[in-house]
Amino acid sequence: MFLQRVSSYFSETTVHGFRYLADLRSSPAERLAWGATIAGAFLACGLLIRSALLEAYDHPIQTTSFADAVKVVGSRQFDFQT
């Protein structure tokens, strides 16, 4: 039942490549090549997401208060006080 639903989804989806996995007219080599291509794409996406998350953890955006900050812009000084 589950495999039938997955096969039905693959054959009718507009996501390129998935329909070739469910097409029984495709040769096993062609289906294997599409499967490897799709797996490689998911792997690449996962690695890029992991890299972006590690970068965000290493260099987080500062969200602390600027109450004690003093900024100098050009020849003017700005004191941020609350």
Q: Which residue has the higher pLDDT, 3 or 51?
A: 51
- pLDDT tens profile 21-66: 888 888 999 999 999 999 999 999 999 999 988 888 887 675 555 5
pLDDT at res. 23: 83
What's the rounded mean pLDDT across residues 11-30?
Answer: 85
Record the tokens describing residue 11, joined without a space.
Answer: 């054959």
Residue ranges per structural domain of the chain: 2-79
For the question of whether the overall pTM of this predicted structure is more than 0.75, the answer is no
pLDDT at res. 38: 92
pLDDT at res. 18: 85
